Structure 1
Amino acid sequence: MPIVNVAQDSTNAVEKRIYRTKPLKKAQVLKIDGVLDDLGWKTVEWAGNFIESQPDENTPPSQKTNFKIMYDQKFLYVAYKCFDDEPDKIEKRLSRRDGFAGDRITLVLDTYHDKRTAFSFTITAAGVKGDEFVSQNGNNWDSSWNPIWYAASAMDSEGWTAEIKIPLSQLKFGKSEEQVWGLQVNRMLFRKDERSVWQRIPRDVSGFVSEFGELHGLINLEAQKQLEIQPFAVTQLDTYPAEEGNPFRDGNDFELNGGLDAKIGITNDLTLDLTVNPDFGQVEADPAAIALDGFQVFFREQRPFFVENKNIFDYQFANGFDNLFYSRRIGRSPQGSVGENPINDSSSVNDEYIDTPSNTTILGAAKFSGKTKDGWSIGVLESVTSREVAKVKDNEGYKREAIVEPLTNYVVGRVQKDFNKRNSFIGGIFTATHRDLGDVLNIDYNNTGTDETSELVGLRENNLNMLHKSAYTGGIDFRHNWKDRKYFVEGNIVASHVEGSKEAIKHTQQSLTHLFQRIDANHVGVDPNRTSLTGTGGKLVTGKSGGGNWRYEGGVFWRSPELELNDIGFLRQADDVRQFTEINYLFLKPTKFYRRAATGFNQSAAFDFEGNYNRIQYSLEGDINYVNNWWTEIEMIHKPRIFTNTILRGGPRYRFSQENIAVLFFGSDKRKKFNFTMGHVNSFTQQNNFSYRRYVLRLNYQPFNAFSMSLNPEFEENPNKTQYVTEQNFNNTTRYITAEIDQQTLSASIRLNYSINPDLTIQYYGQPFVSRGRYTNFNYVNNATASDLRDRVTLYDQNQISFADDTYSVDEDKNGTVDYTFDNPDFSFVQFRSNLVLRWEYIPGSEMFLVWSQGITGDGNPSNHLFRSLDNQVLGQQPENTFLIKATYRFVL
């Protein structure tokens, strides 16, 4: 019998609720059809008495909800009864799996009972399934987790009902005579945006999973030895404009591929994932981006093997933007090149045609991960990528191959241990990257065997001498909570060590991440004889995360000058120390004006390891969700001090004028079939040094339950009077040249979704993108740290600079002789990407995809306006097409 407790006032402790389940009798069978007419359900009682969670916490919900839970040695069974006195208003919106649209109910199970992680299973009134792995005590919900389970829903005169069946092999739990799991059931009444829960969780508490009720009565559950094998087959046809004379670009390529994924349950809570010749292709392309500051762009992981259980391997540190493990490094584009030809291209250079692979082949990968009953979270990942070669052919028929990526091995190990009644944990991580940087030769594949057709192409020509031979990182992290998790202290520390040739380590020292060659830096300098670098980083934060209306935290983080993570991690900039504080006030009780509201204040300051005071900024922000479910977000930022060590790419530390930023976003009720978001970001500085203006419009429309569409256009203006261009030598002095840039960027993502049924969907995604930059008023840096912009740079006058044949010539001393030249930096980058995908999950866990992808990338005319460039490059060019059929079948043994 379930125990029923009355919800307590928010000022008192909330008593844990307990549901006691019973086993299904062997003779009984439950048919999962959504109709609750099987006799087996009478074995247990209904649980109910839900309490409203949103918008008005700790009040009776407008509709009743009941549930039952049963089990046998293979499955967990759940029945739901969602009462509704207006059943014709139940929202039955179709979507793809994990769409989470319309009326729905969710079961969340903390099977480890670690009060930090859980498995979530959602079923909607339309029968659409959703599943997520919950970590960080509810702060992270990972929808990429796709277990096999069964669900169905049905309508009746009292509302709607649902049944689910979850194989115990898909859950992880330790050995025990009686299992005790954390339990929560929550229901979304869509038309009122009302959430009700079985176990009350006050809005002012600091956690989610830690506040669950409990599921008792799971007696003598047998460990489930999970064994799943999932072979796949892919056929792919690429079509593109043929290039006359280019043997690598004849107009089409065809490829047939196959592989195997396997999942083996070593114990009931630890799993080994294996993959042979994996298909790591992405159904949806990365969004277009262009970065004039030279830094790398972070793209989220979309490949299934790396996405699943990624929370176990995650190790963010510092301010959360850097990570010791960035899985996009594995299978990356080849880093080498042939001669002067850029990689990832099939084109001709110096009368040679070159075909370079677009990605590095992953020969195989294995992943061992899970969490034990004793609180050990374990993850080990091993992957090997192949040596990649570019094929080269000249006009005389001579052929050769050149290595553009060496054979590489990647290892990641991650561990965490809970203790102190699950209120604390300590963990560690280790990563290693090893590259086979042996002799790199041109390989004769004319089979002539003569010296004339085989010649050395050294590491230097292919740029592979710039790669590290080995790279290691390690780290320790911890978090401690006390006073019912209201207060916390957390931190981490990382260390890195990279080894390589003198050329490789010199290249690292001079990269944009490090810039040891900065002319005014006394604490770093380029050492051309070094063959290794060792650095550290980390953070220490403490604060209040729950209890009452106030939240606050403060801390410091650092990245030492020699810290280097980019072999298998992600690091944007080293040589950085930052201090930050944050204070937030939550309005916990709704009123006649708003449902939810919050406001906050932030402050941060930045220094480098020489002690230079580089930045200070303050921000004030607030957000409000009105009674009608419209919403507003606003933020004001003030930056009175801005210095940067990187903008001049090795030049002196540079000052920007003080900046103010205003941000305003607002939107309509997202539950409605038509809803919108509008937003504007406006940055402005003293003396108009630079500015940033962003305009956002997001339109969503669902004319009927099975079809939805969205259009998200964005326009950005980013003018800057001192945009870095290049550096030149003048009378043994380095001139750092900047200019006034008028940069505009226009993009629009388009999505169409049609659900034939919950298991058969058609989706379209498209994004045109154009970014144009025009440079004028060229100048050179005179006094990099001057407070006045006019003292900071010196403009060339019309007698000093001239333009012809797409080249600027500078006679700085006006003696009639050109002192230096540089290329016209104007640009217009145009790109269009689209995907049309039919996905059919013909049985749970087994899928078929039909994919049509289109892509166009080109350079427009910078003198044209943005729409003309889009018209010329997107509509006026023949696109590249990819047609793909992929089928998987999951055997559960």
Structure 2
Amino acid sequence: MTTKFRYLILSLLFVITLPIQQLNAQHISRKNLHAWPATSPPKIDGVLDDQLWKDPLQVNQLTASTNRYVYFEDTPMKYVSEGYFIQNSPNNLQKSSQKTKVQVAYDNYAIYISAQLYDTAPDSIRTNMGERDSGGNGGDFFIVSFDTYNTQQDTYEFVVSASGVQSDRIQGTSGWDGNWNEIWTSAVKVNDEGWAVEMEIPYRALRMPNGKEQIWGLNFGRVIARSGETSYWNAIDANKSGYVNQFGTLRGIYDVNPPLRLSLTPYISNVSLGQQGGPYAHTFSGGADIKVGLGQSFTLDVSLIPDFSQVQADNQVLNLSAYEVQFGEFRDFFTQGTTIFNRWDQFYSRRIGQNHNNPSDDILREHEAFIYKPTDAPILNNTKLTGITEKGLGVGILNSITNETYAIIEDSTTGERREELADPVTNFNIIALERALPNNSKIGFMNSNVYRGEGFKSSNVTSTDFNFFDRSNTYQVRGFGALSQEFFPSEESESAQKAGYTQLGHRIDVGGGKVSGKWRYWASSNIESDTYNPNDMGYNSAVNKIGFYTNASYNQFEAGPLFQRYWLRAGYDENWLYNPRTFTSRKVWADSYFQFNNFWSMNLDSYIHPGISYDYFGPREQGYYFKEYMSHGGGFTLNSDSRSLYTGSLRVSYWARPEFSQLDNFISYNQTYRATDRFDLTHSVSWNNQRDEKGYVTTLHDEDGEVESVIYGNRDVKTLENNFTSKYYFNPKMSMKLRLRHYWRRVDYDEFFDLSSTGDLLTTDYTDLNEKGEHTQNTNYNTFDMELSYSWEFLPGSFLTAMWRNELASSNHNSDINFSDNMKELWEEPQMNTVSIRLSYFLDYGQVKRMF
């Protein structure tokens, strides 16, 4: 073990065993606000003329008592908060520029919020519209957040923009879930004093403990777009780690009896699919999503016959790396309420419904060929149970079942076809537990299991993690450990039978440091064995590695003569193979962020890989590695003032390896134009030019199937990507969106090499020419997607949606083609069209009962 290696281990152990204590911590007191019982619910219209808001003590009713609780000593100020919030940005901990008045009331059905957001210039209030969950979309908005278990870790957050658009999200110890959606009511109104908000949030949308009085964490937030100001009722100090731990308190909710939480959302849909000029296949289907509240803490979600026909298309790419492309998740069931599973890459929901085991060519008989191989597996049903107990124990259970799939094989001489099982019926199951601890800390446990039945591989991954903070949230220590098990079936061949076996693997990650204050530092270590494999249900791009990572930063959140805020950071990373225990790479890096007083901002970054690195993953074959000489890179990102109608972001970067004369240049530009409050245009374009890149081409085998040589090539790779989105909002509940994407990558080889056992590139007689004289490794790859979608929420939670999608793709060896000729060729390819119409209707037991 080298001296540097020992030093890194000792440094890491010093950091993670650092005494956890409070050092000069600033204490910000928690504000209190009391809710008042409503004898009748307010009219949710954005006009604050209800008696409930005018007379919180109900003195006009000659009594100040309710439910046997008497408030003779009360004053209205206990129930009304009026004054200046405290800024988080741009001027941390300074008084807001505008006053705000907030009140909270309740009955047995819901929590009611009223807010008067005073503004000395009502004509300047930004009322930009947007789609649901878009926040303010460049406009003003109001936030209310409830920590119903008062753990200072979890929150339900509800947002209303000045145009009336709703957003909601939840946060737990695993992070934010912006895909979480609930059904609630709100209204806004611009008035002479600014603008007003009224909100009705049913208990169905929340989870809460049992008890005579509810004591919740509470915060309100406000964004004033024209001044770029974000402020909170209870101050959120940018110098401190954490968000929910800086909330105030809501009191005074007594004897609530939340209704049974039961909702049903049936749907019907019709999908038409076909190539241009050809016949269309039509599919009519129906199903339902069911939500059932189990007590006050848990919710059971069941999706019967799931329909994902209107899910956004994946951004397909030509992947030249050794690592799997990780796609985004757009299916509602797997994006909502799943943050408890999203820890340490143990859950990659795209595995559910993904084809796993296509038959190989070894099963083909003479004159046979595959005419179809499945790319996905139909989902039969999904079930999810999530919630948190009043003692802070979070629970998540998810189960999905996918149907079997078959490949189709055809005999070219007889025309006969037969089917070969590709995927069996498969069960995916994951269980997660999270226990909240004092000081924003937590411990967790998770187990994932994939069962495919006899004759197929199954797997299991068990993990535990912890995250500890000191009382002031200044210091943090966290850790993770996992054991993976792969259960391989027995195999039969003509010569022998191989018994089934279990392969074990493990991962350990520990880290710690100072996470609050101006000066911050961090150190961590990650160890993954060569047999660790969570990828039947998780995502891990590469295992068999040991990594050590350290960084330190200086953070300034108080405005100065030039900057509103900035941070500077530098770090050192070192990586080794787990087996064999050998060095692979080191990296020294630095980055920074500056937000100027005119609201422009800039990121700067640079790095260097000194000495020689060793790439054991690129060659794709065990025992091979590629020797990489010193390289360096860097770049900057410039962002314009986000308050403007037109905003832009420019990114320029480079990477170079002088030894091979390699040079990569990357440039991208993103721009958004808010033409009106209802119409947005967004465009992004990027260009990446990789010159003289040395990359893997193919592996050659001998007659016995043994590796004969690994071929690398010298190539130029040019990538152009264009994305365009146009959105029009008829009103806060109805919108139309057009999305276009063109991805073009050209790969041009001019020389090939034989990768030696010492990682060097040697001359080779390999050629990629086919019998037609074409360079088969050269590639010209295109994808073009166009989607037009319409959404109308005609009743709360009930939607009519329609989508048309046009898809084009091409791949050939014409790598020297220009842009115009390439587009002509692309548009000659057959176009795949999909038309989908979907109607869903939300039925809630509480709403129906309330009507009668």
TM-score, normalised to structure 2's length? 0.88
**Partner Cα separation in structure 2 for residue 529 and residue 126 of structure 1:** 66
Fraction of identical pairs, as percent:
24
Assess, with a 3 A threshold, how the Cα gap between structure 1 residues 81 and 484 changes in structure 2: closer, same or farther.
Answer: same
2:544 equivalent in structure 1? 575
- Root-mean-square deviation over aligned CA pairs: 2.5
Q: Distance in 1 between matches of 2:537 and 2:553?
A: 35
1:844 aligns with 796
1:292 to 295, 300, 320: 320
Shift of 1:48: 2.5
**Structure 1: distance between partners of 2:291 and 2:840:** 14
Which residue of 590, 598, 601 corresponds with 1:631? 601
Query: What are the Cα deviations for residues 815-869 of structure 1, in whole angstroms up to 9, with x where unaligned?
Result: xxxxxxxx73111111111211101111111111100011011114433335146
Show structure 2 runs of 5+ residues with no match: 1-23, 57-78, 846-852
Aligned equivalent of 1:661, options 595, 609, 633 = 633
Distance 1:141 1:89, change over 3 A: same
Aligned to 2:111: 76
Task: Choose from 366, 371, 387 the match for 1:354.
Answer: 371
State whether residues 145 and 219 of structure 2, in contact with CA within 8 Å, keep that contact through their aligned partners in structure 1.
yes
Alignment of 1:524-543 (within 5 A): 531-543=501-513
Give the aligned residue type for 1:410. F
Q: Does 1:474 align with 2:462?
A: yes
State which of 797, 805, 824 in structure 1 corresponds to 2:771: 805
Match of 1:54 in 2: 89
Q: 1:796 to 1:403 in 2, by over 3 A?
A: closer
Work out which of the residue numbers 233, 241, 264 in structure 2 matches 1:206: 241
Aligned partners of 1:109 and 1:181 also within 8 Å? yes
List per-residue Cα deviations over 1:704-754 (Å, max 9, x = no partner).
Answer: 110001110111122345322223368998332212111111111110110
Deviation at 1:143, TM superposition (A): 1.8
Secondary structure of 2:82 counterpart: coil
Q: For 2:409 and 2:43, how far apart are their aligned partners in 1?
A: 62
Q: 2:528 aligns with which of 559, 571, 578?
A: 559
Deviations 1:614-642 (A, max 9, x none): 11001110011111111110101111142
SS at structure 1 position matched to 2:823: helix
- 1:380 equivalent in structure 2: 397
Q: Larger deviation: 296-305 or 394-403?
A: 394-403
Indicate the SS of the match to 1:191: helix
Distance 1:753 1:801, change over 3 A: closer
Matches within 5 A, 1:387-786: 387-391=404-408, 398-419=416-437, 421-437=438-454, 468=457, 470-501=458-489, 531-546=501-516, 548-609=517-578, 610-640=580-610, 641-650=612-621, 651-688=623-660, 690-728=662-700, 734-782=708-756, 784-785=758-759
Report what 1:788 is aligned to. none
- Answering whether residue 763 of structure 2 is matched by residue 795 of structure 1, we say yes
Match of 1:862 among 814, 817, 828: 814
Say yes or no: does 1:824 pair with 2:824.
Answer: no
Structure 2 CA distance for partners of 1:151 and 1:734, relative to 1, 3 Å: same
Q: Distance in 1 between matches of 2:166 and 2:600?
A: 28
Structure 1: where are the runs of 5+ without partners? Answer: 1-9, 243-249, 317-322, 343-348, 439-466, 506-526, 786-791, 809-822
What pairs with 1:83-232 in structure 2 (closer than 5 Å)? 83-100=118-135, 101=137, 102-136=139-173, 140-232=175-267
Displacement of 1:807 after TM fit?
Answer: 6.7
Asked if structure 2 preserves the Cα contact closer than 8 Å seen for 1:502 and 1:529, the reply is yes
Relative to structure 1, the CA distance from residue 501 to residue 351 in structure 2 (aligned partners, 3 Å threshold; closer, same or farther) is closer
C-alpha distance in structure 2 between counterparts of 1:761 and 1:341, whole Å = 51
Aligned partner of residue 637 in structure 2, secondary structure = strand
Partners of 2:309 and 2:836 within 8 A in 1: no
* SS in structure 1 of the partner of residue 160 of structure 2: strand
Contact 1:22–1:43 (CA under 8 A) maintained in structure 2:
no
Deviation for aligned residue 1:146 = 0.8
Report the Cα distance in structure 2 between the residues aligned to 1:578 and 1:388, rounded to whole angstroms: 40
Residue 97 of structure 2: SS of its match in structure 1?
Answer: coil
Q: 1:363 to 1:801 in 2, by over 3 A?
A: closer
Instruction: Confirm or deny: 8 A CA contact 1:856 1:873 kept in the other structure.
Output: no
Aligned residues: 787
Match of 1:327 in 2: 349
Q: Following TM superposition, by how much is the alpha carbon of 1:77 offset from its aligned partner in structure 2, in angstroms?
A: 0.3
Aligned position for 1:834: 786
Separation (CA, whole Å) in 2 of partners of 1:674 and 1:215: 40
Paired residues of 2:487 and 2:500 also in contact (CA < 8 A): no
Residue number among 235, 238, 241 corresponding to 2:273 in the alignment: 238
Of the structure 1 ranges 394-403 and 77-86, higher mean CA displacement relative to structure 2 is found in 394-403
- Secondary structure of the residue aligned to 2:816 is coil
CA distance 1:669–1:826, change in 2 (3 Å): same
Contact kept in structure 1, 2:492 and 2:498, CA below 8 Å: no
**In structure 1, distance between residues paired with 2:236 and 2:782:** 50
Of the structure 1 ranges 12-21 and 179-188, higher mean CA displacement relative to structure 2 is found in 12-21
Amino acid at match of 1:47: S
Deviations 1:99-152 (A, max 9, x none): 11201110011112111110111111111111111233xx83322111010011
| Aligned AA (2:222) | R
Answer with 97-106 or 640-649: which moved more: 640-649
Bigger mean CA deviation after superposition, 564-573 or 394-403: 394-403
**In the TM superposition, what is the alpha-carbon distance from 1:784 to its structure 2 partner?**
2.9
Residue 33 (structure 2) aligned to one of 12, 16, 19: 19
Instruction: Mark the CA change 1:255 to 1:271 in structure 2 (over 3 Å): closer, same or farther.
Output: same
Contact 2:133/2:167 (CA < 8 Å) preserved in 1? yes
Contact 1:806–1:824 at 8 Å: present in 2 too? Answer: no
C-alpha distance in 2, partners of 1:781/1:353?
A: 33
User: Is contact 2:770-2:776 (8 Å) kept?
Assistant: no
CA contact (8 A) 1:81 1:161 kept: yes
What secondary structure, in the 3-state scheme, does the structure 2 residue paired with 1:480 have?
strand
User: Residue 480 of structure 2 aligns to a residue in which SS?
Assistant: strand
* Equivalent pair of 2:153/2:440 in contact (CA under 8 Å): no
CA gap of 1:302–1:341, structure 2 versus 1, over 3 A, is farther
For 2:629 and 2:548, locate their aligned partners in 1 and report how far apart those are by CA, in whole Å. 21
Q: Distance in 2 between matches of 1:704 and 1:847?
A: 25
Whether the aligned pair in 2 keeps the contact of 1:280 and 1:305 (CA below 8 Å) is no
Contact 1:489 1:542 in 2 (8 A): yes
Cross-structure match for 1:456? none
* Contact preservation (8 Å) 2:711, 2:752: yes
Deviating more after overlay: 382-391 vs 857-866 = 857-866
1:91 is paired with a residue of what secondary structure? coil
